[in-house]
Amino acid sequence: SAVISQKPSRDICQRGTSLTIQCQVDSQVTMMFWYRQQPGQSLTLIATANQGSEATYESGFVIDKFPISRPNLTFSTLTVSNMSPEDSSIYLCSSGRGNEQFFGPGTRLTVL
């Protein structure tokens, strides 16, 4: 299994600001994924980030709101831009080999 770390683990932000979340994997992986988990809900895929190409966004998520970087095979960032209280959520990074996906501990974001 892959070991995945995220920074920050939690943050409280003011509306209108942006937060960049970092995800580090302990081995090289082709695909990395970003999920959102709103309070009391399941996980929803935001986008798939492959190294060397633009991220692929799911319906309802756009690059202007959630820009993603994937500079190498072990690292990715997700930015939550122009935040509003509705963006309060847990943001999870995931990666894997084949079908198996492993998750980071999540970043707990509260927007005031």
Give the number of other CB atoms < 10 A from CB of residue 2. Answer: 19
The span from the CA of 91 to the CA of 43, in Å, is 9
Q: Is residue 50 at the binding interface for other proteins, with CB under 8 A as the rule?
A: no
Stretch that binds other proteins, among 59-67, 69-77, 79-87, 99-107 (CB under 8 A): 99-107
CB closer to other proteins, 50 vs 81: 50
74 is a contact residue toward other proteins (CB under 8 A): no
How buried is 32 (Cβ within 10 angstroms: 0-12 exposed, 13-18 middle, 19+ buried)?
buried
> Any contact of residue 13 with other proteins (CB under 8 A)?
no
Whether 18 and 65 have beta carbons less than 8 Å apart is answered as no
Give the residues lining the site for other proteins (CB under 8 A): 1, 4, 31, 33, 37, 39-45, 48, 90, 92, 98-106, 108
